[in-house]
Structure 1
Amino acid sequence: MCAIADTGSVRKAARQLGMTQPSLTTQLHRIEKALGGQLFFREPTGSRPTPLGHSVLCRARPIVAEMRALIDEVASAAHHERGARLHIGSTNSPAVAGWLRRLRVRLPETDTTIRADVSANALLHMVATGQLDAAFVHEVEGAPLRIPDGLTERELVVREPQFIALADSHPAAASSVVRVADLADDQWMVDPTVDGEWAGLRRVWGAAGIAPRVVHGDYLTAVDLVTAGEVVTPCQPTARSRHGMAIRPLYGDPLAVRLFMACRQDGTPAASADDLFADLTASYMEIAWASEAYRAWLVRHDGLLSVGI
């Protein structure tokens, strides 16, 4: 109930809680049946509490806070009994594998786990509520994330340019840099579940004066469609190219993200934030210079990469 009220949407609340929308809807209906009344108005713009919902929320929020405190206490006790545990999260990034590898070397006695999610906002919420110790996320330029209170940020890259993936047979692939306007007649595949992605791309298209056809889907599916010449899609500069695919920077770098690591201000139980960030920085630098397309971009920009500032 609190998640639905805070996000204003059952869909967003389900993502934040790490569950499916139908499951959350079913739970909400059970609660409403048990309490004997409707708790939210369902509207085209989202969900808002009914008068009964407001009343129940006033009682629910202290219960949720107490429950979180209880979970933290139990987890702390279990930590001392079982040994150290480290839970990290990340939006999809090739740097994560190297980050995990370095953490396992640094903390051989620690049980280190990873949670991947397309939603940076969901991961930040999990850090704030103690479900994760730290999260490595990206923030699309012009679409700020909701940073919960009590978190501290370590900025990894101030402005990472986003590249474009297209078939190697595409006429634009013959150029070292691609203009957005040259892709006006292409279908673009966009994952609307990635926080800020849709807003960022619409801003870029508007600035270029184009209105391309759009296909919604996940970026793993996009790989096959790109190599088949069906779509073009934005990608990270560190993305690995596949057979039949070309990865190129966009002229003027109109689409960019900010990369940062977030953790709670009281730190993490298994490792210092400094150590976590140092391993993350080393992992990112490793893949940045290993990527052919990104390396060429860095050389053209005299190695300009504001890391760890």
Structure 2
Amino acid sequence: MDLELRHLRTICLLADTGSVTKAAAALSTSQPALTTQLQRIEREVGGPLFHRGRSGVRPTELGEFVLVRARSVLLSMDDLLHDITARGASPTTLRVGGVGPLTIELSARLPEVFPNVPVHVRTEYSPKLVTDLVRAGRLDLGTTIDYVDRDLSTDGPLSWAMLSVEPLHVALWADHPRAHQPLIRLGDLAECPWALTPPDGTGWPECFYLACQRAGFTPEVPYRLYDRSEIRDLIADRRAIAPCQSDFDTGKGVVIRPLEGAPIQLRHLLVWRRDSAVHQASDGIARLAREILRGTPRSAGATGPVAPASADGVVPVTGHSQTPA
């Protein structure tokens, strides 16, 4: 069996509904027929795409990998099937998407730059998907992330603004032998089991493995989990530690410590097309996004100067993204 577009749409629908029953109803087919089709798809790709449970289905690590690429393929095909009007940006609507709370907070302030223009918002797990949506003209503006070791692409139709750089920390159980240290060397955690979130398409978890390699060890990663509450529970049960952002919800029995030398750094970005209306207003939008990331209080009608970034455009802040725990 060769994979077809209908198979990719089926996989995406299963992920979106989280239920074989709901997906079957949406496709006007029976649950057994959909299950059989899914099994054929999984044989084709070489492994299970979903975990099955009483609460429904959720993607496996392979499933996350396939979903990111399936959505990208489907978006590209949609562009071929839509006429140029449907594909292009509406001059009366601003479509914004991204990862994390920054997307929502920025959308609330965009009327400061585009008065009387309705804003439509969507959020995604995958930063790569956000970039693909902008590239395809399905979003006018994206808030996304990548990692400092990666080079931003300067070719094609996209423009970028770097908003801030954020060092990742480590979450440990409260009585971990290193938990008392205010600063922890990554190499001192070489013997610990780790829990990681799935790949995001823009360098995670490759940047984590590279940092560990530079620190002189290969990490043991027995846990690959999407749900951050599950990761937190693993840490509290002393079964794993995890790289995380500084605003990771610790709860009882979990602490966060910075890593010495900031070996893993996440970068917050804006992305848009150079041929869009957003391009002319990009400086103002980036200013708003930096204010949000810094936690600058919003003043009604304020037009005063914004504290500048450093010479390389970096504004150190704490987290708003979605990828690491």
In the TM superposition, 1:136-215 aligns within 5 A as: 136-143=143-150, 149-157=156-164, 159-195=165-201, 196-207=203-214, 208-215=216-223
Matched AA of 2:132: H
Q: 1:243 to 1:305 in 2, by over 3 A?
A: farther
Q: Which residue number corresponds to residue 256 of structure 2?
A: 247
Structure ranking higher in helix proportion:
1
Gapped runs of 5+ residues in structure 2?
28-43, 48-61, 63-72, 297-309, 317-325
Q: Does 1:276 align with 2:276?
A: no
Q: Which amino acid aligns with 1:307?
A: V
Aligned counterpart in structure 2 of residue 124 of structure 1, from 131, 141, 155: 131
The 1:219/1:183 distance shift into structure 2, 3 A limit, reads farther
Number of residue pairs matched by the alignment: 250
Q: Is the 8 A contact 1:85 1:270 kept in 2?
A: no
What's the offset of the Cα at 1:285? 1.1
Deviation at residue 86 of structure 1 after TM alignment: 2.2
Q: What are the superposed Cα offsets for residues 228-252 of structure 1, whole Å, 9 maximum, x if unpaired?
A: 4332211223545544332221112
- For 1:62 and 1:228, locate their aligned partners in 2 and report how far apart those are by CA, in whole Å: 46
Backbone CA RMSD of aligned residues? 4.3
Identity rate of aligned residues, in percent? 20
The answer to whether the aligner puts 1:89 opposite 2:97 as a matched pair is: yes
Shift of 1:109: 3.4
How far apart, in 1, do the equivalents of 2:277 and 2:311 lie?
Answer: 31
In structure 2, the partner of 1:307 is 314
- Quote how far apart the aligned CAs of 1:66 are: 6.2
Aligned mates of 2:176, 2:295 — CA distance in 1:
29
Label 1:304 to 1:63 Cα distance change in 2 as closer, same or farther (>3 A): closer
- 1:209 to partner: Cα distance: 1.5
Q: SS of 1:272's equivalent?
A: helix
Per-residue CA deviation, residues 68-125 of structure 1 (Å, 9 max, x unaligned), is 523135x63xx5xxxx422222223x54454234335665633323322221111111
Unaligned runs of 5+ in 1: 28-41, 47-56, 288-302
Counterpart residue number, 2:85:
70
Evaluate the alpha carbon distance shift between residue 198 and residue 85 of structure 1 in structure 2; reply closer, same or farther with a 3 A threshold: same
Shift of 1:19: 9.4
- 1:221-300 alignment to 2 at 5 Å? 221=229, 222-239=231-248, 241-268=250-277, 272-286=281-295
Task: State the AA in 2 paired with 1:112.
Answer: V
Pairwise CA distance, 1:190 = 0.9
Q: Does the 8 A contact of 1:110 with 1:270 survive in 2?
A: no
Alpha-carbon distance in 2 for matches of 1:95, 1:236: 14
Q: Provide the rounded CA distance (Å) in 2 between the counterparts of 1:98 and 1:64.
A: 29
Q: CA deviation at 1:284?
A: 0.8
Q: How much does 1:148 deviate?
A: 7.3
With over 3 angstroms needed to count, the CA separation of the structure-2 counterparts of 1:62 and 1:240, relative to structure 1, is closer
Amino acid of the structure 1 residue aligned with 2:239: E
How far did residue 152 of structure 1 move? 0.5
Q: 1:307, CA displacement in angstroms?
A: 2.7
TM, length-normalised to structure 1? 0.64
> 1:226 is aligned with what amino acid?
I
Per-residue deviation, 1:155: 1.3
In the superposition, relative to structure 1, how do residues 205 and 307 fare at CA in structure 2: closer, same or farther (>3 Å)?
closer
Q: Which deviates more, 275-284 or 194-203? A: 194-203
How far, CA to CA, are the matches of 1:4 and 1:274 in structure 2?
42
- The TM-score with structure 2 as length reference comes to 0.61
Aligned partners of 1:87 and 1:112 also within 8 Å: yes
**Deviation of 1:151 (Å):** 0.7
Residue number among 189, 192, 216 corresponding to 2:224 in the alignment:
216
- The 2-side partners of 1:191 and 1:264 are apart by 29
Q: Which moved more, 1:160-169 or 1:267-276?
A: 267-276
Q: Report the AA paired with residue 211 of structure 1.
A: P
